[in-house]
A and B are shown apart, each in its own frame.
Chain A
Amino acid sequence: MKIIVLVKEVPDTYTERKLDLETGLADRAASEAVLDEISERALEVALSFADSNDAEIVVLSMAPESAAATIRKALAMGASSAVHVADPAVAGADLGLTARILAAAIRRTGFDLVITGNLSTDGNGGVLPAMLAELLDVPNATALSSVKFTADAVSGTRNTDDSTMRISAKLPAVISITEALPAGRFPNFKGIMAAKKKPFETLSLADLGIEPNDFSVAMSIMTAIAEKPLRTAGVKITDQGDGGTKIAEYLIENRLV
């Protein structure tokens, strides 16, 4: 089975994350870049399947050239090879263009199953898995909190806001997984050494036959950006035996009860 796992480099949420107010793009220098935790979990689903089955795992990422080291971590964890779409023209790509680029790279690589995280920690969009499934003309099985493989299908539990479903999809398919699934394994020394020799393909948009500035395609564009004034701390008191009363007074004063 050939599994493509989508991985994403994101700004570390433990540090301050910034957007450039001129360009509206993520300020990648402002915070440390890490492999998104949900990407690691998606990779872990593939790796644990490959532990006892015959599977080729390709990690795919669309990111600036500087993200190569982050993508290599996925190889050190155990993926077989990596495909990195790195092209200056993808900076600021909207979801539609991103989906078209990734779908083209997935088609080019070939797949039985695509695994993604349900939501990235930076964009928080959560629509890409379904967009990819549509463009690839395969089923989407999203937000899985458990995953089971059979020879020609994948199944799992899907928790929506008000129900728990059991769903299944014939392969090829696109699935997305939630953080209910196990965290990614740590790369060991052997894995880190082996990662250096694994195939690592870097692609441009020309390689994929994608024209990024095709204005006949509808795009979503950023029209304004502003930094929100930081929330300032209000009153802080130390409990002198009347802390609860003081909160009650605050709530009443502000008509919150």
Chain B
Amino acid sequence: MPDYPADSILVLLETSSTGELVSSAPGLLGAASLIGTPIALAVIAPGQAQALAEQAAASGAERVLAVDTNSTQSQLTIPYVDAVVAAAAAIAPAAVLVSNSIDGRDIAGRFAARTGAAIAVDAVGVSRDDEGIVAHHSVYGGAYNVDSAATFGPLVVTVRQGAIEARAAARPVALEQLEAQASGAASATIDSVEAVAETSSRPELRGATRVVSGGRGLGSAEKFALVEDLADALGAAIGASRAAVDAGYIPANHQVGQTGVSVSPQLYIALGISGAIQHRAGMQSAKNIVAVNKDPDAPIFEVADFGVVGDVFTVVPQLISELAERKR
């Protein structure tokens, strides 16, 4: 058994349904590098570990432990939990970092419950003080900052996707195989998986550095194209208010807000969005907010750094042509 550093931080690598490292991984490894030595765990089909280890090392993994298994394709959650249990037993980490994704939450929750470890969810940052690892949270839609820590033992942390800006320097690839004993815990069965077809080359909403969102003010699904035009001019991801989703202008996976995706981009442009508190809860941690709305009293202006009271259908085309002008 190789020795592991005393400040090891276990990072669970999440892969897409096609076996690629997902976009949240560099942020997780970056977060781990701030508080210790990132040791990555890959739970992956036999033969794929090398490629994944190379990607993880490029993002700062000091070592990569690989659990070869095909069971993740047929069993939900449990094979990952069994692998994290084996890895944690091997390296005795100070913290276990998992993406706050749908799968990540399940894995972290079951792991914490099984091992009796303290769990901190939806962290937007991590740090280390004299007594150990501290998780930072932004709660009630960003109205409060809260820190949490474990009374003892490793802290299991689910990290909000896109919240960590830190990136770790690339490391040489160091891949080790790890045997994970199957717990035999009852699991749900995965009967079929369909990758959600990426319909565009636009950036993913979660973790995007720029987001252009549209609301009910766009008026129809056809006119929502204006939001897409501005997003493309800026290389931004597309978001929407719940009103726009409910009205059928755009699919629900673009919904920003309390019940949708929380985003913290460098730039957030809200078009025809009134700014209900549920929407603001998902975007007001953006660094710069620009809003265009006909209604001068729209609450979105209360959080906007730059607001224009006007018609999106005249203001936005002008903005797009200005941007095009600048590019020339």
Contacts and interface: CB of A to CB of B under 8 A. Distances in A.
Our verdict on whether A and B bind, yes or no, reads: yes
Interface of A: 13-14, 17-19, 24, 94-96, 99, 118, 121-135, 137-143, 155, 158-170, 173, 179-180, 215, 217-228, 231, 233-239, 241-248, 250-252, 254, 256-257
Contacts of A228: 138, 142-145
B318 A234 contact: no
Residue in A99, A131, A162, A219 whose Cβ sees the most chain B Cβ within 10 Å:
A162
Interface residues of B, number: 97
A223 B147 contact: yes
B192 A165 contact: yes
19 contacts: A13-B278, A96-B116, A127-B106, A134-B109, A140-B187, A142-B106, A161-B101, A165-B76, A167-B188, A167-B191, A222-B147, A224-B146, A227-B144, A233-B301, A234-B305, A237-B309, A250-B306, A256-B288, A257-B326
B284 interface: yes
B110 A130 contact: yes
A252 B106 CA distance: 43
B113 interface: yes
A223 B155 CA distance: 14
B319 A130 contact: no
A222 B314 contact: no
Nearest to A174: B188
A47 to B, nearest CB: 21
A125 B307 CA distance: 33
Contacts of A142: 102, 105-106
Residue in B120, B142, B186, B321 whose Cβ sees the most chain A Cβ within 10 Å:
B186
A157 to B, nearest CB: 10
A128 B307 contact: no
A168 B308 contact: no
Contacts of A155: 191
B317 A218 contact: no
Contacts of B267: 251, 256
Interface of B: 16-17, 22, 76-77, 81, 100-103, 105-110, 112-114, 116-122, 134, 138-153, 155, 158, 185-196, 206, 210, 234, 252-253, 258-259, 266-267, 277-278, 281, 284, 288-290, 292, 296, 301-311, 314-323, 326
Consensus secondary structure, chain B interface: mixed
Residue in A122, A165, A237 whose Cβ sees the most chain B Cβ within 10 Å:
A165
Nearest to A126: B105
A52 B22 CA distance: 42
B34 to A, nearest CB: 17
A239 B319 CA distance: 12
Given A19-B140, A126-B121, A163 B296 contact: no
A175 B193 CA distance: 18
Contacts of A250: 290, 305-306
A221 to B, nearest CB: 6
A241 B148 CA distance: 50
A24 to B, nearest CB: 7
B305 A220 contact: no
A12 to B, nearest CB: 10
Contacts of A165: 76, 190-194
Contacts of B281: 13
Given A219-B150, A228-B143, A248-B323, A131 B109 contact: yes
Contacts of B314: 239, 241, 243-244
A49 to B, nearest CB: 18
A256 B191 CA distance: 45
Nearest to A15: B277
B149 A131 contact: no
